Structure 1
Amino acid sequence: MTRLGYQIPNFTYPGVSADQLYPTIVAQAVEAEASGFDTVLVMDHFYQLPLLGTPDQEMIECYTLLSALAQHTKRVRLSSLVTGNTYRNPTLLAKTVTALDLVSGGRAQLGIGAGWYEFEHQSLGYEFGTFTDRFQKLEEALQIILGMLRSEKPTLDGKWYTVHEALNVPAPLSKIPVMIGGGGEKKTLRMVAQYADESNIICGPGEIGRKLDALAAHCETYGRDPADITVTLQTSACIAPTHDEAVAELDAYFQRNPAAEPRRGTTIVGDPDEVAGAYEALKVAGLDGFTVNAPANGHVPGRVSLLGETLAKVVPSH
């Protein structure tokens, strides 16, 4: 289960040419594994997101990339944070995640959400639909995908998807954990309680307790112990050996990437002691760990290692 996950959300790095892009990504995954992260995650998007950059910046299809990263890592789980359900038929997604599990030696994880980036859908021809449509699709998809991952040959005649005794051969090497992303208290956290092993929430520090209470209430409805669901908080950080270096690297990131400027106030920045202190302050009862990205300086050699070593003291492995 994810207690300390490193997410790679961007692939636009200063001074890194196209032929060095993949090696730079691999280096981050290798540093993450060696320094204490238990999961490496990438976004499932085809265009860069508004608060990270512009649509014309580099974005790599996530499952191809995760399968490649599996060949350079040995221990970390590999996942999307999170798969947009609207981009693939659920039977294809089940087969894709199973393939990732096989090529990684049993390290696949399914992160999934309803999908939200309307511009990307419209530009590339994916049906977006209404908020209600997307959540109905997600729930039907979960019934199909979970059944296939468990070799149950699911059948469903739904509003959005129809399958008949859907086969998934070969089966995954072991049980693939399912993480549902998002903090919606009525729909998303209800589906976490009903279907998932993990929850990744995005919210301000003052909202964490309310999200956990909402999840606990849904767990009671479905007869689940909330302690059986691993809950992580999505965060961003910029760490360096000194405070001044960290601030300078964050400033340089926003200077070359003005679209990301709104993220300044939510990015944890500083030296190892400052970063550790900030994450200690975010720890609340019921929160099991963090997913963290470092878009400002994750490409700088040694920064992911420093981040992992720092956070591993805040979130001890189990």
Structure 2
Amino acid sequence: MQTTGQTAGANGAGRRPVLRFGLQIARFDYPGVPPHEIFDRVVDIARTAEDAGFDSIWAQDHFYQAPVPGLGWQADEPVLESYAMLAALAARTSKVRLGTTVTGVTFRNPALLAKAVTTLDVISKGRAVLGIGAAWHEEEHRGYGFDFPPTGERLSRLEEALQVCRAMFREERPSFSGEYYRISEAVNSPRPLTSSGPPILVGGGGEKRTLRMVARYADACNLFGDLETVRHKLGVLERHCAAEERDPDEITKTKMACLLISESDAEAQRRYEEMAASMGDYAAMLGGIAIAGSPQRVADQVGEYLEAGLDGLVCYLPDTHDLDTVRLAGETLVKNFGGLS
């Protein structure tokens, strides 16, 4: 296990990652909280996470509650639109980065998306991150009237969107003409607060195209899977970086984790088993994403991922509404591995 202050992962000594430990706010059906108080609880969660050492807050970019391993779901559960929520959080936090894990490329024209993320960057005084991926939740596309093209087209759209967003962040009046998107001397004023624009995080682990796009365009990636899977994906990414003549140490590498942390291993294991039983045939999904145990056991498991080459984690907590659990999670991670500051 690594100790406080060590650089995360096997790579990247001396660089500053885009993120270290992020908290994803993945649910809004908080027990006993009526609709008009949902955002108040979100603010409490975000501020508690910030105080506990989490360096970033992430929203799922969904319009229906997405099926999240370990959480169960109903499509008609309450969901807040991600960029409205993040902009409001920008005015109520002071240190955490803010982004989505991840925006579906099918939901927004990429120039408009770049404008929204730039606005978030201005409101937050430079704390925005663009998280983007190829989209996947067909049900909400159908419900909201968005086209849901085949996987290959969605990936092609993602590659064009990455080029458009980078240009909107970095150039004064960029133009681009692709198969799906185009801009013509587009104005993005005010500009992002750094010359290179908000960092870009690409979500997903597709080995032929997604990880190649990470190597070509991204500042960060967020993977899925158990330890063996993560090691394999990192190897694939390194090969894409070599082909692109890109230093892989420039890319912050994280994975999504369902974090079940309790004061005792027995309590965490009990909760894990309850969640797995509720998932039926999908219980294997939880096994690939869950980190469960007491603070020491969690630290041991996280340490294995960092030693494998990750820089950090994006975590969601089944009981995010419990501020004591949020605090315990953040303090455990930062105590054992250090934060960005």
TM-score bucket of the superposed structures, by smaller chain: over 0.9
1:230 aligns with 2:247: no
Deviation at 1:239? 1.5
Deviation of 1:317 after TM superposition, in Å, equals 2.4
Partner of 2:46: 29
Match of 1:286 in 2: 309
Conserved 8 A contact 1:29-1:73: yes
Determine if the alignment matches structure 1 residue 210 to structure 2 residue 227: no
Pick closer, same or farther for the CA change 1:260–1:180 going to 2, 3 Å.
Answer: farther
* Letter of the structure 2 residue corresponding to residue 2 of structure 1: L
**Which residue of the other structure, out of 29, 33, 45, is the alignment partner of 1:16?**
33
Give 1:97's match in structure 2, choosing from 90, 109, 117: 117
Q: Is the 8 A contact 1:90 1:145 kept in 2?
A: yes
Residue 74 of structure 1 corresponds to which residue in structure 2?
94
Q: CA deviation at 1:313?
A: 3.1
Contact 1:82/1:111 (CA < 8 Å) preserved in 2?
Answer: yes
Q: Kindly provide the amino acid, as one letter, of the partner of residue 34 in structure 1.
A: D
Q: How far does residue 153 in structure 1 lie from its aligned partner after superposition?
A: 2.1
The question of whether the paired residues in 2 share the 8 Å contact of 1:50 and 1:260 is answered with: no
Encode CA deviations 1:287-314: one digit per residue, 9 max, x unaligned. Answer: 11111110x2111121111000111134
Q: 2:80 aligns with which of 32, 54, 60?
A: 60
More contact order relative to length (CA 8 Å, sep ≥ 6): 2
Task: Look up the SS of the partner of 1:304 in the other structure.
Answer: helix
1:180 to 2:180 alignment? no
How far did residue 260 of structure 1 move?
11
Q: Does 1:198 pair with 2:215?
A: no
Q: TM-score, normalised by structure 1?
A: 0.93
Stretch deviating more after TM superposition (180-189 or 275-284) = 275-284
Q: Could you tell me which residue of structure 2 aligns to residue 121 of structure 1?
A: 141
Alpha-carbon distance, 1:225 to partner: 0.6
Cα deviation code 1:112-156 (max 9, x no counterpart)? 001111111111110111111101111111111110111342212
Q: Give the match for residue 270 of structure 1.
A: 293
Q: Is residue 240 from structure 1 mapped to residue 262 from structure 2 by the alignment? A: yes
Any unmatched runs of 5+ in structure 2? 1-17
Quick one: distance in 1 between partners of 2:51 and 2:229? Answer: 32
The CA deviation at 1:216 is 0.9
Contact residue 242 and residue 271 of structure 1 kept, 8 A: yes
Structure 2: how far apart are the matches of 1:209 and 1:134?
Answer: 26
Cα deviation, residue 12, structure 1 = 1.2
Cα deviation for residue 211 of structure 1 reads 0.8
Distance 1:23 1:41, change over 3 A: same
Q: Greater CA deviation, 111-120 or 233-242?
A: 233-242
Within 1, Cα distance between the matches of 2:188 and 2:59? 24
Q: Once the 2 structures are TM-superposed, how far is the Cα of residue 264 of structure 1 from its aligned partner? A: 4.5
Q: Pairwise CA RMSD of aligned residues?
A: 2.0
Q: Can you list the C-alpha shifts for 1:258-310, whole angstroms capped at 9, x where unaligned? A: 6997355342222212221221232234211111110x211112111100011
Partner of 2:323: 301
Per the TM alignment, residue 59 of structure 1 is displaced from its structure 2 partner at its CA by: 1.0
Q: How many residues align?
A: 316
8 Å Cα contact 1:198-1:231 kept in structure 2:
yes
- How far the C-alpha of 1:189 sits from its partner, in A, is 0.6
Equivalent AA in structure 2 for residue 55 of structure 1:
A
Q: Distance in 1 between matches of 2:61 and 2:263?
A: 31
Identical-pair percentage: 42
Distance 1:235 1:90 in 2: 28
Q: Which moved more, 1:211-220 or 1:275-284?
A: 275-284
The answer to which of 302-311 and 146-155 deviates more is 146-155
- Counterpart AA for 1:38: D
